[in-house]
Structures are given as C-alpha cells and as structure tokens.
Structure 1
Amino acid sequence: MRTIAKNTAIATAAFVAALGLSISSASATAQSTFTVSPGGNWSATSTNTELSVSGSVLTCDTSTASGTLQSGSGLAGDGIGSITGITFGSGDPGDCSFAGIDFDVTAANLPWALNVSGPNAGDPDAVDGSITGIKASISGTLCTATFEGSVTGLYNNTTHTLSLDGGGTLAATAANCLGLINVGNHASFTGDYVVTPAQTITVD
C-alpha cells in the first residue's frame, strides 16, 4: 500500500511539474498583440536616407513612402501594415548619388510588409519593428545593383517617426558596379520617415 501511495505521489509531482513547464513554455512563446490608432492610409517623408555598402554611401535628398496600417486592438505584429509605394529622390539630378555618381533608385516587389515585434528597450514611447520583403535596384553610370531582404528600426509614438537603423538582412543579390558592390554585400539602410497622419502603435 505504501508503495502504491509513493508511486502515486511521484506520478502526481511529475504531472504537476510537467504542467508547470508547459504553462511556462506557452507563456514564454506567447506573441504580443498591439493597438494601432487611427490606422488606415498613411504617408511619410525622409530627408536623410542612406544606403551604405562596402564603405560607400548612397544618399538621397528626399524619400517618400505610403501604405496602410491595420486599426484597433489585439493585432498581431507580423504584417500589421504595409508599404505600397516608395520613391527615392524627386527625379532631379543629384537627388540620389553614390561615390559621386548620380543614381536612380527603384523599388520592386511591393507591397513590403511592416512588422512590430515589441516595446523598445531604450525608449518607452517607441516600438521595435522591421520591414520585410524588400527589393530595390540602383542604377547609375557603369553601376547597377539589386538589393533584397529586410531592415530593422523603431516607430516613435511621440515624434511619429519611423527610424531605420541599418540592421536586417538587406544584401546585394545582383551587382555590376566596378567592384564597388558585389553580390552578398550587406546593405545598411538608414533614414527617418515622419508619418502622417500621426499614428500610435502600442503593446496591448
């Protein structure tokens, strides 16, 4: 009888421990949800976009983007919004230049996905996120290249600014650029896009 009771106690303890582990694991892997207000259509402008590749930097005097955001609470972070259009430069000579050469920059594979991953560790008014599905090409005298991948950044709810920080997987997938850019080179894309109408994105 003692043996049965002892075995039952051990089995019960093991079950409780396993249950606790399952609950902890589920909690640890639970995804945050977010609230977006007002959502809907948005546009944004940056005056400091840069694409840095192998020590050379392509700069554009202006870049404009537009897209949509979901609206409401309980929203998943992945695909919370999209970029449906983005341009670099206004078409005037010198708007975008790389190594002293004028360049055209063309976006492809639109829409690009806007994702939010959670609160920013250093700024309570900001959320971290990424842009995925990016594809864009640059073309100038004796130099063409195509870039694909993702970029990381944050959205600040006070300044209503999407700031890209140069992280992510963006890299050259095709290049013919006098050795300045080669296939596989990481591309660091930075810029601050001020969004209108002002959006608020918070963790639920």
Structure 2
Amino acid sequence: MAAAGFTVSSASATAQATWTVSPGGPFTAHSGNTQLAVPNAVLTCTDSDADGTLKSGSGLDGAGIGDIDNLTFTNCSVAGILFTVDTSSALPWKLNVTGPDPNNANRVLGSISGIVAKIADPDGICTATFAGPSGPTAPGTVTGYYDNGTDQLVIQDGNLTAHNANCLGIINNGDHAAFTGNYDVTPAQSITLD
C-alpha cells in the first residue's frame, strides 16, 4: 500500500491543489503488524502485503492518485483464535492525498477508500464484514499519512464499521473498527505538493 491516503485541513491545501509523485508506477508494501480493534476485541495480523500502482509525474489530482490492487493478511488472530481476512470483493481500493501534514514537512495526509473486508474463524463461529457506516456493501475509508522520509504508509483510523456480525457478542453490528498499521513501501516514493 504505498503512497497516499490522507485527510488534513490546511490553508495551502485547496480543492485545486496538485501533486507530484516520483517514481510512481507499480509498488509493494509490507507490514509486520496490523490491528483491527473493536470495543470488545482486537484482531492482530503478523503479516500484511499489498501491491498496486501510483500515478507518476506532476500536476496530479490527489483523489485517486493510486490503486491498491491486492491486499493480504496472514497469521491473524483474536485471543489466540485464528481468522481469515478476505479483501477481494471490493478491490481495487483507491489511494487519495488530501494535503500536507501541518506538523511534519515529510508527510502527506490522505485516505484509502473503497474498503470492504470480511473476517471469519475456520469454523464459521465468528464472522463479520467491515465497510462504511451505512451498510455491508457501502465502502469504508481509512485515514493516515505517507512519510517521504521513512517510506512508510501509516494507517491510523477511519470509518470502518462492523456489519453482518455473528460473533458471540465479541463483534457487534455497528461497532467502530479502528484499523492501524505501518507499511514499508517499495520502491521508495516521493509525494509532494506542487
């Protein structure tokens, strides 16, 4: 998951703001630890890998500046119970840049949109779909930043919500799900305001 997906309010970031991405093109991203936290539980995955494509050049619109074409999560568990995570139904997801980080010159803020993901334990005792607040097929969004200094895409939260939850009260319909993860992006990208 490389490159951009963010939210920020900044006087210099207007609707007309454009961006430069270098080198752009195909990328991969890896995280050694991601978490999806609901009020009663935390789903932890020790490996997550993504690949996609970024636009390249200057004068680029921040909305849809890139795509995530594939995203996998492995070795995922809640309280020692293994889970699978299926992200395939809504791919590709969109990478969006919304503005520079007013607190860190190396970072650009943004979002990843279009998210629908399903989790299940091997026996089907606990299942849930995470999407936008309005329903299980309404794509959700996560927010964070891309750091040009560390080449990391950092996800910090978003509006993911649990739907179709059948999970013995551990996950409930309407639960806010906070997704967090630090993804190392290869090749290193530079995303800057024009």
C-alpha deviation, 1:55, in angstroms = 3.5
Matched, 1:118 2:109: no
**Partner residue, 1:179:** 169
Matched, 1:135 2:120: no
**Partner residue, 1:52:** 37
CA distance in 2, matches of 1:200, 1:124: 12
Matched, 1:203 2:160: no
Which residues of structure 2 form unaligned runs of 5+?
Answer: 1-11, 132-139
CA distance in 2, matches of 1:162, 1:191: 8
Alpha-carbon spacing, 1:36–1:177, altered in 2? closer, same or farther (3 Å): same
Please state whether the residue corresponding to 1:45 is helix, strand or coil: strand
**Partner residue, 1:145:** 128
Number of residue-to-residue matches in the alignment? 172
CA-based RMSD of the aligned residues comes to 1.4
Overall identity of the aligned pairs, in %? 58
Which residues of structure 1 form unaligned runs of 5+?
Answer: 1-26, 90-94
Alpha-carbon spacing, 1:177–1:195, altered in 2? closer, same or farther (3 Å): same
C-alpha deviation, 1:100, in angstroms = 2.4
Alpha-carbon spacing, 1:187–1:66, altered in 2? closer, same or farther (3 Å): same
Alpha-carbon spacing, 1:28–1:40, altered in 2? closer, same or farther (3 Å): closer
Give runs of ≥4 in structure 1 deviating > 4 Å: none
> 1:130 corresponds to which letter in structure 2?
S
CA distance in 2, matches of 1:144, 1:170: 15
TM-score by length of 2: 0.85
**Structure having the higher Rg:** 1
Q: Which has the higher helix share?
A: 1
